[in-house]
Structure 1
């Protein structure tokens, strides 16, 4: 509930005054600040500086974990792109130029995070909103389903090849996380293990050491084959030891539905599904009624993007991400309830 409070605050503020231009100005400023820090980090890395968890191919502004930074970008970039539909903004050349520059820097930053989930969520959410606005009649439903399905399949393949960094090993780790979380849910189907107990239960009972050791060994063998190194039993043992140590620091399964089902059981997991479906239905209904309301469209886009990315990472289980999502939902819904939108898509 504490993380949810920004929704009520921004809903109230949005009802009191027309704050959409202030919101866009804040998005532009935040993107300039964070993206310029990404440029600075890239400069330092090129000159030999080292930072824990940050590489030249995968960065997060202010040394933030790249995937978390991608989430934060998803919370502001859709607002900026939807605001391009506003005639008042387009008529102000200086502001419009700054908006374009911030959008380009933001997209570059999203790519530099190397987050496939972030890019996939951004693109899929944007396509969903675009089709929801332009194909509201029955004839558009077939087009919508066809294009969306094709985009999902194609983007999943495409982003594997164009995002910076090596993701193959990460993918197998996520699959094991899901497998171990599923085992946890099977033992605690109704109520789960409890939010505060998840880490201890996961590491103590459900992380299978033999599976982790085998995977680490496969990774080591693939690496020495690629680099033509000689096999070293000591290095192989160290690789397995490091893998087990890394698993001891896992505090979430990098999948929001898996987190809720394993931590809070079927009751909490179904609650999360209802939460997503309810907001999706409500936002879509409001957008059909007010297709020119670009603040509402931005709220739907952000909601979709963050929850899609949440299938591969922390999502709303992270405090900062949850607060940003609820803040933007509050703004979008305030414009849905009081139709202040004068522009049309």
Structure 2
């Protein structure tokens, strides 16, 4: 039976893992279902007497994880009076450890089985569902901002910071297949419309600047292989994207001075900074931010008091909750990962997935100035899923290239 075949099992498990990493806000058990599917695949893989896949990651990635989580763990040791800082809290050491799970699950499943098309089709289907339903709901209900299956427009906006670069990579990779090219090109348009309709200015600005920087680096590294006209067109297109994002940001906030000033962000940033001033080495505890903001550090004039609020800044959430230890760990993580992505585009200079992931990484770093990205469970899972997908495409391309040489 085909469904008992390990190849079919790997495809089914991949579908569930990809879906689970995107389902956080409309079904809270999405990731749990993914983990169950992955566990069943691992058991089936072992029963078939297959050797454990020897998944390898670049040393920069491994060191980034080691340094980051070591700093988080040490800072947590100062707050063991509240077990929620270690496990069980909205923010805890264990919750941070589990954020990269989609990366390792998708690599384990696809390391020895070519699941690239399955992953691509699943991702594209989810993209169509999010964008299609979101645009339909926005038009039918005359909504002010699009939120699709999710309760928050910014959530969908930040998701598009991952979906759009990955869709562009799929378009470049499958450009010789007319059907794939048409389907993914339409999806790219829908994703751009979705991003605009969410009116998420931070996501639009971060993505446009990230793409602009990525294009400039690409043009610099491939200036000999590309004609002058093509280089100019790409550069002008990237610059135009930044200008359009700026104009959209002004358009969405021009009638609301409160929003133009960043809404409650200045209040929350000050509160987070004051938390760190009082607890410089290890912060208030990974799970202590919400409780601390609702009480001692809530500033007069804030509209988000006792609401489902967050720090609106990835650096500040680590600084306030984990102190200097977590802050240094996060910065070390960014530096090591940045070095990895730089090496990656040098080795795989013509692989679209290398450039795609560089753009996603830059977008998350930039958007982290205004919202939580790497510290967010939902966004982090999606980021690491995309990371794993791009690594699989590079791995199988490398294997096929080596086979052709032989």
Q: TM-score with structure 1 length normalisation?
A: 0.75
Range 313-322 or range 159-168, more displaced: 159-168
Q: 1:265 to 1:337 in 2, by over 3 A?
A: farther
Q: For 1:155 and 1:255, how far apart are their aligned partners in 2?
A: 24
1:25 aligns with 2:83: no
Q: 1:102 to 1:264 in 2, by over 3 A?
A: same
Alpha-carbon shift at residue 167 of structure 1 (Å): 5.5
Q: For 2:119 and 2:356, how far apart are their aligned partners in 1?
A: 11
Q: 1:283 to 1:6 in 2, by over 3 A?
A: same
Alpha-carbon shift at residue 318 of structure 1 (Å): 2.3
Q: In the alignment, what sits opposite 2:250?
A: 161
Q: For 1:39 and 1:334, how far apart are their aligned partners in 2?
A: 31
Deviations 1:148-200 (A, max 9, x none): xx899967743422347856423141112111111111111110000121111
Task: Specify which of 181, 200, 214 is matched with residue 115 of structure 1.
Answer: 200
Q: For 2:353 and 2:263, how far apart are their aligned partners in 1?
A: 38
Deviations 1:245-280 (A, max 9, x none): x31225421111111100110110111111112111
1:3 aligns with 2:99: yes
CA RMSD, aligned part only? 3.0
Q: For 1:183 and 1:153, how far apart are their aligned partners in 2?
A: 34
Q: In the alignment, what sits opposite 2:294?
A: 203
1:183 aligns with 2:274: yes
Q: 1:43 to 1:155 in 2, by over 3 A?
A: closer
Q: For 2:203 and 2:195, how far apart are their aligned partners in 1?
A: 7
Q: In the alignment, what sits opposite 1:12?
A: 108
Q: In the alignment, what sits opposite 2:171?
A: 84
Conserved in 1, the CA contact under 8 Å of 2:208 and 2:245? no
Q: For 2:186 and 2:289, how far apart are their aligned partners in 1?
A: 43
Conserved in 2, the CA contact under 8 Å of 1:15 and 1:335? no
Q: For 2:282 and 2:241, how far apart are their aligned partners in 1?
A: 33
3-state secondary structure, aligned to 1:316: coil
1:292 aligns with 2:350: yes
Unaligned runs of 5+ in 2: 1-96, 225-230, 402-406
Q: In the alignment, what sits opposite 2:73?
A: none
Task: Specify which of 119, 134, 142 is matched with residue 38 of structure 1.
Answer: 134
Q: 1:151 to 1:207 in 2, by over 3 A?
A: farther
Query: How is 1:133-282 mapped onto 2 (pairs within 5 angstroms)?
Result: 133-136=218-221, 157-163=246-252, 168-170=257-259, 171-209=262-300, 211-212=301-302, 243=303, 246-282=304-340
Q: For 1:152 and 1:93, how far apart are their aligned partners in 2?
A: 26
Q: 1:32 to 1:172 in 2, by over 3 A?
A: closer
Conserved in 2, the CA contact under 8 Å of 1:12 and 1:334? no
Conserved in 1, the CA contact under 8 Å of 2:345 and 2:354? yes
Q: In the alignment, what sits opposite 1:98?
A: 183
Alpha-carbon shift at residue 336 of structure 1 (Å): 4.9
Unaligned runs of 5+ in 1: 47-55, 213-242
Conserved in 2, the CA contact under 8 Å of 1:198 and 1:251? no
Alpha-carbon shift at residue 84 of structure 1 (Å): 2.3
Conserved in 2, the CA contact under 8 Å of 1:116 and 1:160? yes
Q: For 2:371 and 2:339, how far apart are their aligned partners in 1?
A: 24
Q: For 2:264 and 2:318, how far apart are their aligned partners in 1?
A: 19
Q: 1:91 to 1:208 in 2, by over 3 A?
A: closer
Conserved in 2, the CA contact under 8 Å of 1:194 and 1:264? yes
